[in-house]
Amino acid sequence: MNFDFSSEQEQFRDQIRRFLEKSDGLSEGRSLLNDKTRDFSAPIWQGLAALGVQAAAIPEAHAGLGLGMLELCVAAQEIGRVLAPVPFLSSVCVCAEAIRLFGSAGQKEKWLPGLADGSIIGTWGFAEDDRGGEARATRSMAGTIIGTKGPVLDGRIAKIMIVVSEDASGALVLMLCDLDQTAVVRQPIKTLDPTRPAASIRFNAAIAEALPNGDGDAWRKILDRAAVLLAFEQLGAAETALASACEYAHDRIAFGRKIGSFQAVKHKLADMYSKIELARCHCYYGAWAISTDAQEAPLAAAGARCSATDAFEFAAQENIQIHGGIGVTWESNCHQFYRRARLTGLILGSRYEWQDRLVTQLEKQLQGSVV
Amino acid sequence: MDFYDTPEDAQFRAEVRAWLTKHVEPRPSNQSPEEKVARAKRLLAAKAAAGYAAISWPKALGGLGGTEIQSLIFLQEESRFDVETLHGSDFFSVGLQLCAGTFLKWATAEQIKRFIPPLLRGDEVWCQLFSEPSGGSDLAAVRTRAVRDGDDWLITGQKVWTTGGHFSDFGLALTRTDPSMPKHQGLTMFAVDMRAAGVEVRPIRQMSGESEFNQVFLDGVRVPDSCRIGAVNGGWKVALTTLGQERSTAATLAFVDPQELLKISRDAKVNGRPAISDGRIRERIAECWLNTFGMRLMNYRSQTALGRGAVPGPEESIAKLIIAQQGQRSAVIAMDMLGVHGILTAQELGERWKSIERAWFWAPAFRIAGGTDEILRTILAERVLRLPADIRIDRDVPFNGSAIPRSKSN
């Protein structure tokens, strides 16, 4: 039994944590809030690349480190801890993983090295931008794609994109598209968390090529793995929100005593802690499942996503509450957590979808099709 | 990261499983309470003979000289068998864990020699005489008096929620020996012979109609000073050791299996449609699984910590908090799915409904016993999150002073 990370993985974590503390991820996010022209923190992104974060899961043959999912899990947690404004989820957890798992030899050779050193940013598009009343699925035909995706996280800064499309028969197909072409039109769209900006992207018969094994099952697998990694980001962020609330409860005095000595406050913080520890257990289980390709992975991923979303959402909301009036001001960093909790809670689909998926997996278990 | 035992642990697990297969007797039908105790005692005697009664203890004390992780493995394996339990815990855990662990730290060599061997064999069963009618959560407020009488002490007072008191031979009793001192300072711990004159055990009938707890009345019970555990007026430290022994088995306890809830939801109809197709019910089943399976995962984390020679964290407090509340919720969800038929008892609804009814009756007790939900939250907040302590107005003043408000009972 070893339901924990290895000492090597913990060392990797320490390196990332030290760097992110020094580079002050929260303040970088703050500066993005104030300066809308920047889409991400290039210094942090480059620093992470120097530590090998983007390269961790990419094979050595493609200029990666040839490590695995567990290294990405610890990196995700540390990135989440400081709400680092970087395209980690889009580029590393979804795009690079999709190419690594389902791409052709040529696609891997062409794109993985750039994704590994962070010089290329990738993303994905699943949701159709139906704000114009047009809800048609993005179609792929004869090496081109037609449609509009949005919101696409990091859509303004990405060089390449995995476009979830339908082929002529209506089957799901993952198309890899180089966004630097005139048939692609990007438009920024505003999100609740400006430190993680998004775009709407129109494909006017843009040139794209299919990932050879990129079908519906492949997409589900990518989504499950991304859900676990994002859950670690949520876990790290929730931990910081809790620490911040505890610190304030220690400092603030009302009615002649520290507010942290009031049970109403204390018990709220204990509830935050319990939800976080529950989420941690499910995150670890998810990490085990995706790192070993276990057949329980869909259930474990849903468990990680549901519990981490719940823990972070609760921690972000109640962190504001503990801070009182100061918590709702622009100057306080409480709203950075509040914003990120919503963004991360929704970007891979809401809890309704994942709870439903979780129960579907339990039903399969009951039928005996999974252990 | 993996869920596999080391080769040594796997071998131990296999040995334990084979041993349990051989030694756990099939449960007779229509078992009387006395037969229940007798069956549990026979298994404990066999465990003691094999060293399994106290796996992590040295062999000289009747243990196996094993590791904490082996203890946990035994517990995990034992929970696969139909063994007798009390409130979901090992039948003799009060004696084996709480009392024995306390003796190892505080008892004299003679006391250890006198009490430990029969305790391990199940020849003498122990109960805990801590809570009183006037205070459960506020343990240091005990009023039961112990007064010196030559070489003996005379104990008078009333204890309550005594698990297994009706079949126990000894009780570990927290008493007040000096009421003029502040409340934590005037306490002393004793081993009390439950058959001594002046001890009366009366079962408490719980709301389910069952009786598993007792009231214990102590009326001038004579206890020799040789049965004092720890120093005079040093009982609070001893009590803290007892409470610290509590490795709650909450993580292996599940009131309602999520799969059971799922099965019910496939058969039941809500608004004329299968309950399982109702999103609200699916959401609740998902929550049930997250909490229930999550606590099993938390147990794996404790096991990992033990395997690394570390002390498990406060996971067990969280486990009890989550499991008990989820048990209550799950029972109510199951009943709601049956609509009006949810008012019926398991006698009407059949064998399958027993776990639901049990959860509904027992979860409220479990939310209170061994630290209420509220006490546990306070513990997590103060000990883990390091928040400032509550203001306690009765802390540093004489216990019998007039300034302290008191409960009316007792």
Question: How do A139-141 and A209-210 pair as beta strands?
Answer: unpaired
Inter-residue contact A301 to A290 (CB < 8 Å): yes
Q: Which of A270, A282, A366 sits opposite B377 (nearest CB)?
A: A270
B97 & B81 share domain? no
Contacts with B, A 243-272, CB within 8 Å: 246, 249-250, 257-258, 260-261, 263, 265-267, 269-271
CATH entry 3.40.50.300 includes domain A123-210: no
The answer to the question of residue B374 being in a domain is no
Give the Cα-Cα-Cα angle B257, B259, B262 (nearest 5 degrees).
120
Chain A contact set for B293 (CB, 8 A): 303
- Per-residue pLDDT at A27: 94
State the pLDDT confidence band at B18, using cuts at 50, 70 and 90. Answer: very high
How far apart CA B276 and CA B283 sit, in angstroms, is 10
How far apart CA B175 and CA B186 sit, in angstroms, is 9
Q: Which of A261, A269, A288 sits opposite B389 (nearest CB)?
A: A261
Domain-terminating residue out of B44, B71, B91: B91
**Domain residue ranges in chain A:** 7-120, 123-210, 216-367
Contacts with B, A 15-54, CB within 8 Å: none
Residue A146 DSSP SS3: strand
Chain A contact set for B389 (CB, 8 A): 261
- Long-range CB contacts for residues A61-68, cutoff 8 Å, separation at least 24: A62/A100, A62/A108, A62/A109, A62/A112, A62/A113, A62/A116, A63/A112, A63/A113, A63/A116, A63/A117, A64/A112, A64/A116, A68/A291
Q: Which chain A residue is nearest to residue B315, measuring alpha carbons?
A: A277
State the pLDDT confidence band at B20, using cuts at 50, 70 and 90. Answer: very high
Nearest CA among B375, B317, B370, B379 for reference residue B128: B370
Count of structural domains, chain B: 3
Q: Decide if A277 touches B, using CB distance below 8 A.
A: yes
The answer to the question of residue B210 being in a domain is yes
B263 & B210 share domain? no
User: Which residues make beta-bridge pairs with A202?
Assistant: A148, A185
Among A150-164, A168-182, B3-17, name the one with the lowest average pLDDT. B3-17
Q: Which chain A residue is nearest to residue B5, measuring alpha carbons?
A: A1
Q: Token digits for A366?
A: 């009951």
Whether the pLDDT of residue A193 is over 60: the answer is yes
Nearest CA-CA distance, residue A18 and chain B, Å: 23
Residue with tokens 């009316």: B408
- Mind listing the pLDDT tens digit for each residue in B204-251? 999 999 888 899 999 999 999 999 999 999 999 999 999 877 655 554
Give the mutation candidate from A266, A271, A318, A354 for the B interface (greatest B CB count, under 10 A). Answer: A266
Cβ–Cβ below 8 Å for B285 and A359: yes
Inter-residue contact B232 to B177 (CB < 8 Å): yes
- Mind listing the pLDDT tens digit for each residue in B277-295? 999 999 999 999 999 999 9
Residue B136 DSSP SS3: coil
Q: Which of B263, B289, B304 sits opposite A3 (nearest CB)?
A: B304
- Per-residue pLDDT at B308: 83
Residues 6+ apart with CB under 8 A from A142: none
How far apart CA B363 and CA B125 sit, in angstroms, is 26
Chain B contact set for A277 (CB, 8 A): 298, 315, 318
B236 & B101 share domain? yes
- Mind listing the pLDDT tens digit for each residue in B306-364? 888 777 767 678 888 999 999 999 999 999 999 999 999 999 999 999 999 999 999 99
The answer to the question of residue B380 being in a domain is no
The answer to the question of residue B242 being in a domain is yes
How far apart CA B323 and CA B345 sit, in angstroms, is 23
In this structure, what CATH number is given to the domain that contains residue B135?
2.40.110.10
User: CA dist A17 to A13, A40, A49, A77, A82, Å?
Assistant: 6, 19, 14, 9, 9
**Segments in B247-314 forming alpha helices (H):** 258-267, 279-307
Q: Which of A6, A261, A274 sits opposite B391 (nearest CB)?
A: A261
Mean pLDDT of A51-60: 98
Number of cross-chain residue pairs from A and B with Cβ atoms under 8 Å apart: 149
Domain of B256?
250-369
Chain A contact set for B318 (CB, 8 A): 273-274, 277-278
- Per-residue pLDDT at B393: 86
Whether the pLDDT of residue B97 is over 50: the answer is yes
Whether the pLDDT of residue B198 is over 50: the answer is yes
Q: Decide if A163 touches B, using CB distance below 8 A.
A: no
Whether the pLDDT of residue A138 is over 80: the answer is yes
DSSP letter, residue A68? -
How far apart CA A128 and CA A308 sit, in angstroms, is 26
Number of neighbouring beta carbons within 10 Å of residue A125: 30
Q: Is the pTM of this model over 0.80?
A: yes
How high does pLDDT run on average in chain B? 91
Q: Token digits for B91?
A: 């039948």
B102 & B242 share domain? yes
- Per-residue pLDDT at B91: 85
- Mind listing the pLDDT tens digit for each residue in A343-367? 999 999 999 999 999 999 999 998 8
The answer to the question of residue B155 being in a domain is yes
In Å, the largest CA–CA distance within chain B is 76
B163 & B228 share domain? yes
Whether the pLDDT of residue B3 is over 90: the answer is no
DSSP letter, residue A2? B
The answer to the question of residue B379 being in a domain is no
B126 & B185 share domain? yes
Q: Decide if A273 touches B, using CB distance below 8 A.
A: yes
How far apart CA B128 and CA B143 sit, in angstroms, is 16
In this structure, what CATH number is given to the domain that contains residue B254?
1.20.140.10
- Mind listing the pLDDT tens digit for each residue in B356-409? 999 999 999 989 988 899 999 999 999 999 999 988 888 889 998 877 777 765
B241 & B277 share domain? no
Domain-terminating residue out of B39, B65, B91: B91
How high does pLDDT run on average in chain A? 96
Mean pLDDT of B25-35: 90
B126 & B261 share domain? no
Nearest CA among A308, A355, A336, A350 for reference residue A26: A336
How far apart CA A98 and CA A111 sit, in angstroms, is 11
User: What's the CATH number for A216-367?
Assistant: 1.20.140.10
Phi-psi region of B371 (alpha: psi -120 to 50; beta: other; left: phi over 0): left
Whether the pLDDT of residue B121 is over 70: the answer is yes
B87 & B98 share domain? no
The answer to the question of residue B386 being in a domain is no
- Per-residue pLDDT at B410: 44
Whether the pLDDT of residue B1 is over 90: the answer is no
B86 & B145 share domain? no
- Per-residue pLDDT at A136: 77
B241 & B255 share domain? no
The answer to the question of residue B383 being in a domain is no
State the pLDDT confidence band at B102, using cuts at 50, 70 and 90. Answer: very high
Q: Pick the more confident residue, B7 or A370.
A: B7
Chain B contact set for A287 (CB, 8 A): 1
Concatenate the DSSP letters of all residues of B203-231 into one string: EEPPTTS---EEEEEEEEEEEEGGGEES-
3-state helix, strand, coil in chain B (%, to 5): 50, 15, 35
B313 & B237 share domain? no
Q: Decide if A369 touches B, using CB distance below 8 A.
A: no
- Mind listing the pLDDT tens digit for each residue in A68-116? 999 999 999 999 999 999 999 999 999 999 999 999 999 999 999 999 9
In this structure, what CATH number is given to the domain that contains residue B46?
1.10.540.10
Cβ–Cβ below 8 Å for B297 and A282: yes
User: Which residues make beta-bridge pairs with A141?
Assistant: A144
CATH entry 2.60.120.10 includes domain A7-120: no
Question: How do A172-178 and A209-210 pair as beta strands?
Answer: antiparallel
Cβ–Cβ below 8 Å for A284 and B1: yes
Mean pLDDT of B142-168: 96
User: CA dist A239 to A234, A275, A324, Å?
Assistant: 9, 10, 19
